[in-house]
A and B are shown apart, each in its own frame.
Chain A
Amino acid sequence: MKSWRIFRPALIVLGVVILQGIGQEAGRQDGISRGGSPALAPESQGDVIFGLKPGTGREYVLGYCMPCHSTTLVASNHMSRERWDATIDTMQIKNGMTPIPPDIRDRILDYLEVAQRVDDPGLNASRKSPWASPLYRPNPLW
């Protein structure tokens, strides 16, 4: 049981890579074009998986974050690269997150910096329509 947990990030990365492969294959077969966000790299077009938008490095986010918590927590937060970096520090110091090789950490941050940025169009859209979200208006200082 113990060793199983240690390998969990790697298993999830493997699983997601397979999933993405299946997705691309299925997309080709049914001829549906799948538009990704223009801000993301072309090779990262595809579908939302476990709440996370497509993007290079997503498999590592799934692999390293999901062993402890649902990715809905990642998908609902929007920060700068620096704050995401600090968040990983917090997760490692306080919450026992597995050590991450530097190159993989960079790829995780590359993904979060774009997919979960503060000016995410999806986040802003939800704030503009009073019917979609009559609860709050943007802070008048912004």
Chain B
Amino acid sequence: MSTMKPENTAVSRGDRRQFVKASTLATFSAMLGMDIPFGGLIPQGLTPVALGQDEVVQEMDLIHKPGLRVLNLRPVNMETPALLLDDEITPNQRHFVRNNGLMPERAGQGSLSGWTLDIDGEVERPMKLSMDQLQSGFKVVEGAYVLECGGNGRAGFYPPAPGNQWTLGAVGCALYKGIRLRDVLLHAGLRNSAVYIGYYGEDIHLSRDPSKVVISRGFPISKALDEHTLLAWEMNGEPLPAVHGFPLRLICPGWPASTSGKWLKRITVRNVVHDGEKMTGHSYRMPKYPVAPGTDVPAQDMEIISEMPVKSIITFPETGMEVPQNQEVPLRGHAWSGSGNISAMDVSIDFGQTWKRTELKAPRNKFAWQRWNVGIQFPGPGYYEVWARATDVTGAMQPMVVPGWNPRGYLNNAMHRIAIKVTA
């Protein structure tokens, strides 16, 4: 296993001490994503306190994500602008980040010292597996998988739903190498009482209280036994980057990305639905029935999100582009669905009155996103919107407007719309 070597950037270069010494107001402003008024007058030593900067600097040292939009630095949450999702396989530096706590030290050091994956609960043979045992004891598989945050698109809900205000970019499709979770579970011997799995990671609670679990979610045994549910140690040909869960993470494709636990240390097989941190209450749950916007929904009327809905994105051109008339404009993007493949991808340039079928590529594997492209000739000068609509194999289609309001703002799969100005 090679150690982590973060690429050099203005923010990530050098060790932490040097960074603090070299820090300028501009750097702090950039890290915060905002201006610090009268920052030049901040007394020495005050800014770091206010920033909670010790952790922020440590983490930014390990994250190289130029061009991503920072929603939060502590914990780190970054989304990718649509244009930067144009690659068929999302490069590591362009993959969104949704952390709930602080990264474990091991991840930053790229160290496997003392690390095992513990399998316990409803299994015949509880076990601790080293990385060597995982890599050599089971069939190694590789696949491209879409991970999308359950809250992607939250910014579209009104009244606003609490949490990170993701727009479009809490999604990516990277290539993961690892082993099937089912092979490990069957090796440990699943008992008939097995109902659900729950994961535990090594990430650190924001309060630094070691007794607090940051996030511990899971999924039903049926999903755990799916051939596409993986324990992955490699992302796009590199060891998992620190921010993406070094040394091992779950890949639970098609489900909210919070089920794809990072910095994995333990998987416990439960005889009931897992009730770990962020499994209960309103977290990652939708109302069992449609509710009016703003409704207070009792916790017992909420149910766990399983498959993510059908969705697509326009990755070229960027919204707001001006094009001369009489020039064909190439449009392209990706489409995906938690239920499997996409059956049709259409675009409209007349506010949904007529639709044009696009060319749709087959997925690299199930749960990879699918490339679509089409050339459009606009009829004349003016303001146009391009609407993009995917339909999946179940016949489900993206809605034109933001779908069912829910208390935490999950599952907004409204069509992506961009504006195009055609000039004379």
Q: B56: nearest residue on chain A (CB-CB)?
A: A70
* In contact, A76 and B417 (Cβ under 8 angstroms): no
Q: How far is the CB of A114 from chain B (nearest CB, A)?
A: 16
* In contact, B34 and A95 (Cβ under 8 angstroms): no
Neighbour of A50 across the interface among B36, B43, B46, B405, CB < 8 A: B36
* In contact, A134 and B419 (Cβ under 8 angstroms): yes
A/B pair count, beta carbons within 8 Å: 129
* In contact, B419 and A95 (Cβ under 8 angstroms): no
Question: Which residues of chain B are near A69, meaning CB under 8 Å?
Answer: 52, 72, 74-75, 206
Neighbour of B46 across the interface among A18, A77, A95, A137, CB < 8 A: A18
* In contact, A83 and B209 (Cβ under 8 angstroms): no
Question: Which residues of chain B are near A8, meaning CB under 8 Å?
Answer: 49, 52
Count chain A residues whose beta carbon lies closer than 8 angstroms to a beta carbon of B.
Answer: 48
Given contacts A18-B46, A136-B414, contact A23 B162 (CB under 8 A): no
Of the listed residues B52, B385, B401, the one surrounded by the most CB atoms of chain A closer than 10 A to its CB is: B52
Q: B49: nearest residue on chain A (CB-CB)?
A: A11
Counting CB contacts under 8 A, is A51 at the interface?
yes
Q: How far is the CB of A71 from chain B (nearest CB, A)?
A: 9
Size bracket of the B interface: 35 or more
Q: How far is the CB of B215 from chain A (nearest CB, A)?
A: 11
Q: How far is the CB of A54 from chain B (nearest CB, A)?
A: 10
Q: How far is the CB of A35 from chain B (nearest CB, A)?
A: 14
Q: B212: nearest residue on chain A (CB-CB)?
A: A96
Question: Which residues of chain B are near A66, meaning CB under 8 Å?
Answer: 50-52
Main secondary structure of the interface of A (DSSP, over half): loop
Counting CB contacts under 8 A, is A110 at the interface?
no
Q: How far is the CB of B295 from chain A (nearest CB, A)?
A: 12
| A119-142 vs B, Cβ < 8 Å mask (1 yes, 0 no) | 000010001001100111111111
Q: How far is the CB of B3 from chain A (nearest CB, A)?
A: 27
* In contact, B207 and A23 (Cβ under 8 angstroms): no
Q: How far is the CB of B28 from chain A (nearest CB, A)?
A: 10
Interface positions of B from 369 to 424, Cβ below 8 Å from A: 385, 401-402, 405, 414, 416-419
Counting CB contacts under 8 A, is A68 at the interface?
yes
| A36-56 vs B, Cβ < 8 Å mask (1 yes, 0 no) | 000000000001111100000
Interface positions of A from 57 to 96, Cβ below 8 Å from B: 62, 66-70, 72-73, 76-79, 83, 87, 94-96
* In contact, A26 and B38 (Cβ under 8 angstroms): yes
Bound: A66/B207 CA distance, A: 11
| A98-116 vs B, Cβ < 8 Å mask (1 yes, 0 no) | 0000000000000000000
Question: Which residues of chain A are near B56, meaning CB under 8 Å?
Answer: 70
Counting CB contacts under 8 A, is B293 at the interface?
yes
Interface positions of B from 294 to 322, Cβ below 8 Å from A: 319-320
Bound: A138/B158 CA distance, A: 7
Neighbour of B71 across the interface among A76, A83, A94, CB < 8 A: A76
Given contacts A22-B38, A134-B385, contact A50 B73 (CB under 8 A): no
* In contact, A76 and B207 (Cβ under 8 angstroms): no
The stretch of B90-98, B164-172, B254-262 in contact with A is: B164-172
Of the listed residues A49, A51, A72, the one surrounded by the most CB atoms of chain B closer than 10 A to its CB is: A72
Q: A126: nearest residue on chain B (CB-CB)?
A: B155
Question: Which residues of chain A are near B320, meaning CB under 8 Å?
Answer: 131, 134
Bound: A26/B38 CA distance, A: 8
Bound: A11/B48 CA distance, A: 11
20 more contacts with CB within 8 A, not counting A137-B401, A139-B158, are A8-B49, A22-B41, A26-B38, A51-B32, A66-B50, A66-B51, A66-B52, A68-B74, A70-B56, A72-B34, A72-B71, A72-B72, A76-B164, A78-B159, A87-B162, A127-B158, A134-B320, A134-B418, A139-B157, A142-B293
